[in-house]
Amino acid sequence: MTEKTALNDLVGYHLRRASVFDLAGAVAALEPVGTRPITMSVLTCIAENPGVTSAEICRILGMQRANIVQFLADLDAKGLFRREADPADQRIQRLFPTEAGIAAAKDWHARLMAHEDAMLHRLNAAERAELCRLLGEIWMP
Amino acid sequence: MTEKTALNDLVGYHLRRASVFDLAGAVAALEPVGTRPITMSVLTCIAENPGVTSAEICRILGMQRANIVQFLADLDAKGLFRREADPADQRIQRLFPTEAGIAAAKDWHARLMAHEDAMLHRLNAAERAELCRLLGEIWMP
DNA sequence: TATTGTTATACTCTATAACTATA
DNA sequence: TATAGTTATAGAGTATAACAATA
């Protein structure tokens, strides 16, 4: 039974409530392995795009260059990627996942998938796909 | 064309990207009238539930009692609601919207609806309703 | 001029603990 | 004991400006 409030007319209200709900579960799912959702996203970018630069990751994830530093420092301290100077452009550091980084990316992704299976238990596969599509229509260019 | 990344498998990733995208637009939509989305949500609760307490608003919106203080102080400074002592329970302050508060709640809601019409231009009415339903299945109890 | 990586800084929102006063 | 309202404080995430090095 949906409550009758002007907030329920607003997609943004539901978006925020659902996103906050998800975030709490995602943080809990990654907490046992000592990481967090954004850190996971950054590592995923490195694992899937060996040689990517931090500026490119920022463009992919929609974050500021200044703000990725802390997440890279975290991943670096865990030895999950290494930096290599680009021979053709001295400004650039290319990032490559280590073996441990590739394994961590897989493990962290699996933990988030398990969390989502629980979170989305009320939706069937078609609804889950439709939700992703509708959300993509909002934010994807 | 959807990019092929493990992040795209995650509903939470799309949720967060869409929510951040919406938030930027909602903040911009309310900026001309000097308010913000959470402040708007709190005022909406007061306008729709005259006599509501701050603790009740916190339960409705899913926030901590400590954190609503700043938003109420903001609304109070604008004269959009007034506090009344509850005769039967001295711990409680009941909150009532002023005339200006009722008008502001309507105006702010209209501004957000206009923002959402633009944000959701790729979705038809049925898709918009379906999106709200699917999001509700995630976060509503 | 523009881009990269980085530091410093401020701001928003959130989470927790503690306190008082009431019930 | 439990709840309401509040203060203080810390944390996560974000945004902006600035800088040196390089293109």
User: What is the percent of chain B with per-residue pLDDT over 70, rounded to a whole number?
Assistant: 98
Contact B21 A122 (CB under 8 A): no
The mean of the pLDDT values for chain A is: 96
Write down the pLDDT at residue A91. 97
- pLDDT (tens, 9 = 90+) of chain B, 141 residues, equals 457 799 999 999 999 999 999 999 999 999 999 999 999 999 999 999 999 999 999 999 999 999 999 999 999 999 999 999 999 999 999 999 999 999 999 999 999 999 999 999 999 999 999 999 999 999 998
For B41-65, the pLDDT digits (tens) are 999 999 999 999 999 999 999 999 9
> Would you say the C-beta of B91 is within 7 Å of strand D?
yes
Contact B10 A113 (CB under 8 A): yes
Write down the pLDDT at residue B38. 98
Output DSSP code: residue B91: E
Does position A76 have pLDDT exceeding 60, yes or no?
yes
For A99-108, the pLDDT digits (tens) are 999 999 999 9
Q: Compute the residue count for chain A.
A: 141
Burial class (CB in 10 A: 0-12, 13-18, 19+), A47: buried
> Would you say the C-beta of A58 is within 7 Å of strand D?
no
Question: Closest partner residue to A134 among B37, B48, B131, by Cβ?
Answer: B131
The mean of the pLDDT values for chain B is: 96
> Would you say the C-beta of A90 is within 7 Å of strand D?
yes
Spatial separation of the C-alpha atoms in residues B88 and A7, rounded to whole Å:
30
CB-based contacts of B37, cutoff 8 Å, min separation 6: A12, A16, B23, B26, B27, B30, B112
Spatial separation of the C-alpha atoms in residues A42 and B87, rounded to whole Å:
55
Å from A135 (CA) to D8 (C1')? Answer: 39
Torsions phi, psi of A36, nearest 5? Answer: -140, 165
Give A109's contacts in chain B (Cβ within 8 Å): 6, 9-10
